[in-house]
Amino acid sequence: MEKVNNVKLDWNLILSSQKKVFRDKFRDLNADEVYAPVIDMLNKNRIPSRVILSNGRICAYGYIMPPQGIDDRLICSMGFVNKDESYIKKGIDIVNWFLEMASKESRLLIIDGIFNGEEFFTKIEELEFTRAYRIKLIGNLDTILERIKKVYESIKTGENNFIELQNDEISMDEVAIAQTDAYGGTPDEFLLIQKNHNNITPKIINSGYYGKILFTPSKTLHNGEIVGSVQVSDGSFEFFRINTPLLVDLFISKKYQGRGYGSYLLYQSCKRLKTLGYKDIQLWVNVDSPSFKFYKDSGFEEEGEDDLMYYRDFR
């Protein structure tokens, strides 16, 4: 077995099978456009990469994506040229390389995508990784509005001290504190909260990582306390359906959960999207998260697209 790091390779050829599967799975996206930036960076050695050779042929590969302004984590991807058992066994060297990098730099390691790696998942879990399975949901705005209308109206008429404030009246830092409380102890905590309890959402939103925010983020208060917040983008990100708004984040502080406030914020957002001419809204959700049932009950449907990631925290 031979390891090769950051040498000049034809990554368009290496990733050709992966692109084909992506094209078949995400039919509303242009696979060439999605992969072009990654392949360009790999071909020019602008991001770290490693390939494993067997008898002079590439059998496994991995690379580390740019940090997108979020410097507490390593986002990695790996794959195998085919599902041959002898190839799969050699993928552990790629994972050990990821682990070494993350441990040395004290970062959260996220392996987001293992192509042809179904037989490799057990080996990953033996290395103390945690599994996060996320799926895409799509919702028709009219369906959602009809489904949650009664809950919205009961809150709208029954809470005299329930007011909505705009972005210039509450700082993102204040919202981040409430969001940290909302996600603490949930399956999504690792994505949003750094080890020092700082919330990275403001950095992500400001970087444009999720696309352009369509309207001023809604933050809602009750008796002076932040109840929750919702943010929606235009979905202009490589793994999101084109021209369909993305529900970037909707959270309710723990104190106010289970009282209908999530439906209240979702209803407001869907009404705004209707005025902008949209018909649908999309989101990604962890199937182990309590919010999964909330979205299904609100009228969202599974679209058949999923994302399996593994993570291990060295922060």
- The three-class DSSP label of residue 256 is helix
pLDDT at 95 over 60: yes
Nearest to 2 by CA among 45, 57, 42, 43: 57
Q: How far apart are CA 311 and CA 87, in angstroms?
A: 22
Q: Which two tokens stand for residue 212?
A: 């352009």
- The pLDDT tens digits for 159-204 are 655 666 655 566 777 777 888 888 888 888 877 755 554 555 666 6
Report the pLDDT averaged over residues 36-56: 92
Percent of the chain with pLDDT over 70: 83
Cα gap 41→257, rounded to integer Å = 43
Which three-class secondary structure state does DSSP give residue 77?
strand
Percent of the chain with pLDDT over 90: 42
**Identical fold between 2-128 and 136-305:** yes
The residues spanned by each domain of the chain are: 2-128, 136-305
User: How much is the pLDDT for 274?
Assistant: 96
pLDDT for position 208: 63
Reported CATH class of domain 136-305: alpha beta
Q: Where do we find the tokens 């990554």?
A: 11
Least confidently predicted of 208-212, 220-224, 284-288: 208-212
Question: 141-158 and 261-275 are packed helices; what angle lies between their axes, rounded to 10 degrees?
Answer: 130
Closest of 149, 129, 158, 20 to residue 79, by C-alpha: 20
Which CATH number is associated with domain 2-128?
Answer: 3.40.630
